[in-house]
Chains A and B, each alone.
Chain A
């Protein structure tokens, strides 16, 4: 219950176990963390929050949302801080003009495929998607989206084949495909934490959707952890119980 009232800080990626310590600089602050720690987690430990949606410290880094991009002096491009490990002497910048533009660009894409019903949404005020839209300064979506997953009917009034109605058939969870951002947190928690492998992503590209195997609804599947939820976009981290089961799970190499 405590987690729901005072959520723990989410460091973005699981803690590294190495005894070897590494010191690097993030936004001008020296940070010392165990070898193998992600740049995102190192930043979080220094009190620097890098924007993120798909990362959470109870499952392994995935690198899909592309909000946590950073710049590293002497390295090309903008690597994702969740999947990039620390290295001695790195000089990392988490806030630059380029990163601001990229994050806003990514967020604009997310919101172009998301209903703008924040005021009537039950997650209002407790929604990572909403938080991140604010954090990256998104004020306007310039796309005139034709293909979406959230409109029941397309612009010419025909039924939208991409639209899947909300699934409330399971007594414990609901899945609202209109609000799902396909961050795969539920799929990964179901695999990595729960060891159930009941969820997967089906389809490719824009058609990628969380899927419950061949069965039509969730009622028939055991997705016993709250982490298995996709009912609100990247909203809340899994509870402690699931984290302890994580270490007990035999891991395939």
Chain B
């Protein structure tokens, strides 16, 4: 009997480790042969811990499981109270187009054999036979854009690094996933680390870089452990090391752990941190693509950008580009969180409307109350009211609504949310996480909190001051931390003016 129990942090937080122990104990008690495989999460967090039992009918899911439900797994599965049927047939799974996350939740994350059996390494095998310019051209043709949030075309970034002349070049994977409501990077690293490794190797082949770093936030101990083990296995299998796949140039990967600063997810701060310096933002230019890690040309890409590369080579740029809308090509792993009935990861082509996502996929609020606002793109993303639910999910489409898709995390709020408090939270977040280098962010965020407090006390004169401050921060800040904090603040103020006036009436 083969049983899959996720090692994913979300599943573990919901009791997956205890469940795995209970399954093992029950098997011993019944003297049954059971192979427990710790897989990644399928992304249906409301069903975690989701246990899958391999049967002749496919993998049957059971969730959310508790240790009390374990004995039932060894009896008639059809009458198990938590039985969900074949996992692949669940509506959440059937609606998706899983390209980047194709193997997450399906394979044993640390089995290269599983990885290869599910299509892994076929992209790298093609890339290793191509010349660097052709690899860059393929990525450019796929239309892939930075999934970290900036949406910069990945092919153009690689081209810049590829054409730069230097003694050494580097690939840096940004896995400092600090945005609230985002967990795609973590899920991928925990559930399918070899995809990221393969993507980084292809980036190395394309640019001439021979060393890669994965900068993982310290809050992700499971991802750090899995990635380190995966790198060790990849090295042992000749995937990494002196010659990629035995025929290519050298490439190796080192895992580095952050020290807890949100701003180190900003690429130049990340590079400073990687060099052992204070995690402060560098002014651009010079671009990291020309003068990055240790002053050498460096590709800094998000986990999902790099992990989307293998499928582009496996199935072709044209295949990938076929998905999406406008200038947003391919698929995007939506991360649905907050006050929702169905939260988790949902990979789909760009173009679904916000309403389809929130009312359809997420099933509205968990509290059963109406949705008031959705924050898209992490703590620096805008709050979108119901009137903007027809906005298709795409970089330009959200920019057109004074918002951003960021790393594609969505946080849903019901009608009990106080948007003035949310505006204050945005300023407070910026004040806590500011690196302290530039004035608009360093002083502005602190003044922002104080100004929102004045509005809360009924000082209407503080509203234009808050608007002016947002203009200064948006255009004046050195990086996106100070520069994007006005998005949540101004969207809250613009779309929910009542929340900013209500307290005034109370004061009077």
Contact = CB atoms under 8 A, between A and B. Distances in A.
Interface in B441-475: 441-447, 450-451, 453-454, 465, 468-469, 471-472, 475
Contacts of A113: 443
Contacts of B446: 147, 205-206
A78 interface: yes
A203 B442 CA distance: 11
B439 A84 contact: no
Interface stretch (A98-106, A214-222, A240-248): A98-106
B433 interface: yes
B440 interface: yes
A109 B447 contact: yes
Contact of A203 (B436, B451, B453, B476): B436
Interface stretch (A15-23, A26-34, A64-72): A64-72
B475 A206 contact: no
Interface string A115-148: 0000000000000000000000000001111110
B450 A253 contact: no
A206 B446 CA distance: 7
Given A62-B283, A204-B435, A253-B295, A110 B443 contact: yes
B266 to A, nearest CB: 13
Contacts, number: 111
Contacts of B25: none
B472 A109 contact: yes
Interface centre among B294, B441, B445, B472 (most CB of A within 10 A): B472
Contact of B261 (A62, A69, A84, A204): A204
Nearest to B483: A77
B78 interface: no
A208 B471 contact: no
Main secondary structure of the interface of B (DSSP, over half): helix
A77 B443 contact: no
B258 to A, nearest CB: 14
Contacts of B285: 83-85
Contacts of A201: 278, 280, 436
A243 B108 CA distance: 61
B478 A78 contact: no
Nearest to A80: B283
Nearest to A53: B439
Interface residues of A, number: 41
Nearest to A207: B436
B162 interface: no
Given A77-B475, A112-B443, A147 B283 contact: no
Contacts of A64: 437-439, 478
Nearest to B433: A205
Contacts of A147: 446, 450
A66 B478 contact: yes
B454 A144 contact: yes
A43 interface: no
B304 interface: no
A105 B476 contact: yes
A182 interface: yes
B375 interface: no
Contacts of A208: 436-437, 442
B154 interface: no
A245 B197 CA distance: 46
B454 A205 contact: no
Nearest to B450: A146
B292 to A, nearest CB: 13
Nearest to B459: A144
Contact of A63 (B261, B283, B434): B283
B477 interface: yes
A144 to B, nearest CB: 6
A40 to B, nearest CB: 12
Contacts of B478: 63-64, 66, 80
A160 to B, nearest CB: 13
B432 interface: yes
Contact of B451 (A105, A143, A205): A143
A180 interface: no
Nearest to A208: B436
Given A146-B450, A205-B442, 6 more contacts: A101-B468, A102-B472, A105-B472, A143-B451, A205-B431, A205-B445
29 contacts: A64-B437, A64-B438, A64-B439, A65-B439, A66-B438, A78-B476, A84-B285, A85-B285, A101-B471, A101-B472, A106-B476, A108-B472, A109-B439, A109-B443, A143-B447, A144-B454, A145-B450, A182-B436, A201-B436, A204-B261, A204-B434, A204-B435, A205-B431, A205-B446, A206-B431, A206-B443, A206-B445, A206-B446, A208-B437
